Amino acid sequence: MGYSYSPSSTTSKDRMNLSTWSLQVDHGLNNVIGLFANTFLVSYITQVSASESLSASIVSVASYYLAIYIVMIFLNTLLGYLVDRTNRVWLYRVGIICKGAFIVLVIFMGQNLAKYSVLAGALYGVAESFYYSSFNILKSEMVPRAHADKYVVVENIFAKVINVAFPIILGVLIDVSTYVTTAYMVLAVVAIQVVFSCFIKSSRPEGSCFEFFKYLKKLKGNSEDIKRIKNFYPVALAYGGTKIQTALVPLLAIYTFKTNISLGLFTALFAFLAVACLFLFKYLKKSKIGEKASKVMYIILGILPVIVSVMIAISIEKWSFIVFSMVLEIAICLLGYSLDVQRTVILKKTGHYEDIAEHQALTEVAFNIIRAVTFVLMLVLGLTLDINGLKICIAVVSLSYPLLALFLMRLEKEEKKYPIDYVVVSVEEVTDSQNATIEENKDEN
């Protein structure tokens, strides 16, 4: 797809506009929906299945997530063709509305939800596909590469602030009223998202076309820029393996503490700690000992999750659950921040503006394939070995963290050779007039 927009300046004078900040706020509110549809919905499914064996809860939860990611593997990519041929903001709104429809479904399904976890997961997968197939492209196109780091930091802080306040509110509401009553409040958040989406402005780039398989073929090349882009995808694959452990936190919370209030309190506390650690992480990376500090931090973030995972696999106690949840929350916040920055800027730094949509689609495919595989593992082990199978699953998938840390270190080491204002200009499949435009603006966006 040929990009004819004028890229944003990389100078410090340039600032993100109202449209970009609206996207920021809107996506921040999406964390409320995520808390409801993941953390507390898993808790609800577990409680509904409490009268049965633990394996019943494991099967319901694993089936729910497996349905989500199987749908997303295929639908998210197919929607790329639609997003790249239309106004991506409208598809983004469709994603928000689909999430609202999912919540309405939860309201009507009530306690039958555990019986239809596959259906619920498939429908939420549809909503997530519409949302992220458009959001990822909007974010990559709208956020200047010079401000990607700041944008991702603010995005994480906003998400964690929401995770401080809303888990407690949702947990109390669910325990003192009903899950369905809480769903109405979350539905109001969806309405606010729709309003904020009206301030997001994005135009379809001239000559835009989505060529996913052509992009895969391009990645077989060995040019300098292609090698740099390919360094990112092992990071995406490793990151996909971390999802299952964070998804297991609510199941383990109900297993050990029995209440949603406890789940809300711990989620809020660990979100606060994660924000504090994120500021420390950024400070150390920018300090005089930045390179050494970064390496040490990545080693810690890779090893600690494995240690606490083995610990909880040996014995699921209240104290071990608290340590396990805290370490995972901090690790995924810091590692996810580093991944998100690289995901946003790598195509722009290599000059492959024409491949932004395809890159985002491939990243999601990498995430979701590994997520699906890990939940299949959880399903099989849970069915055959019950709680012991769950423990084995936790220990095995914890290896995703050292792999993620290792791949991120390798990627960042390579990308440090290329300053944020350095761009390799890609002229492949670009017209003569567009070549001139790119050359003129190659130090921008």
Tell me the per-residue pLDDT of 31-72, one tens digit each, with 9 for 90 and over.
888 877 776 677 677 666 556 666 777 888 889 899 999 999
Q: Residue 272 corresponds to which amino acid?
A: F
Q: Which residues pair with 444 in a beta bridge?
A: 9
Q: What is the spatial distance between Cα 367 and Cα 241, in angstroms, rounded to a whole number?
A: 8
Handedness of CA 122, 73, 236, 424 (dihedral sign): negative
Phi and psi angles of residue 9, each rounded to the nearest 5 degrees, phi first: -70, 150
Q: What would the pLDDT profile of 180-194 be if each residue is shown by its tens digit? A: 777 888 888 899 999
Whole-angstrom distance, CA of residue 158 vs CA of residue 210: 32
pLDDT for position 411? 94
Question: What mean pLDDT value characterizes the chain?
Answer: 82
- Tens digits of residue pLDDT in 191-247: 999 999 999 887 666 666 889 999 999 999 999 999 999 999 999 999 999 998 877
Whether 3 has a pLDDT exceeding 80, the answer reads no
pLDDT value at residue 110: 65
Q: Over the stretch 425-440, which tens digit does the pLDDT of each residue have?
A: 544 444 443 444 444 4
Percentage of residues in the chain having pLDDT higher than 70: 82
Statement: residue 85 has pLDDT above 50: yes
Phi-psi region of 206 (alpha: psi -120 to 50; beta: other; left: phi over 0): beta
The Cα–Cα gap between 35 and 23 comes to 19
Question: Are 93 and 199 in contact, with CB atoms under 8 Å apart?
Answer: no
Q: Point out which residues pair with 198 in neighbouring strands.
A: none
